[in-house]
Structure 1
Amino acid sequence: MANQKQRYRAKIGDKEFTIVGNGTVAHMEAVNQLLNEQLEQIQQLAPKLAVEDQALLLAFNAMSDQLKKQTELDELKHVEEGA
Structure 2
Amino acid sequence: MSKGKIRYKTTIAGRPYTIIGARPEEHMRSVSKMVNEQMQQIESLSKGLDSERRAVLVAVNAVSDQINMQIELNTLQKQIVELEKKLEKAQELKISEE
Q: Normalised by the shorter chain, which TM-score bucket? A: over 0.9
Q: Give the partner amino acid of 1:74.
A: N
- Structure 1 residue 52: Cα displacement: 0.9
Answer with 1 or 2: which has the greater Rg.
2
Deviation of the 1:55 alpha carbon: 0.7
Number of equivalenced pairs = 81
* Superposed counterparts of 1:31-50, under 5 Å: 31-50=31-50
TM-score, reference length from structure 1: 0.93
1:30 maps onto 2:17 in alignment = no
AA aligned to 2:27 is H
Identity %: 37
What stretches of structure 2 of length at least 5 have no aligned partner? Answer: 84-98
3-state SS, counterpart of residue 63 of structure 1: helix
Partner AA of 1:25 in structure 2: E
2:37 counterpart letter in structure 1: E
4+ long deviations beyond 2 Å: none
Q: Does 1:67 align with 2:67?
A: yes
For residues 23-81 of structure 1, the C-alpha deviation after alignment (integer angstroms, 9 at most, x for no partner) is: 00100001111110011000000010121111111100000001001100010001001
Bigger drift between 3-12 and 64-73 goes to 3-12
Q: TM-score, normalised by structure 2?
A: 0.80
Q: Which amino acid aligns with 2:51?
A: V
Q: Aligned Cα RMSD in Å? A: 1.0
Query: Which protein is richer in helix relative to its size?
Result: 2
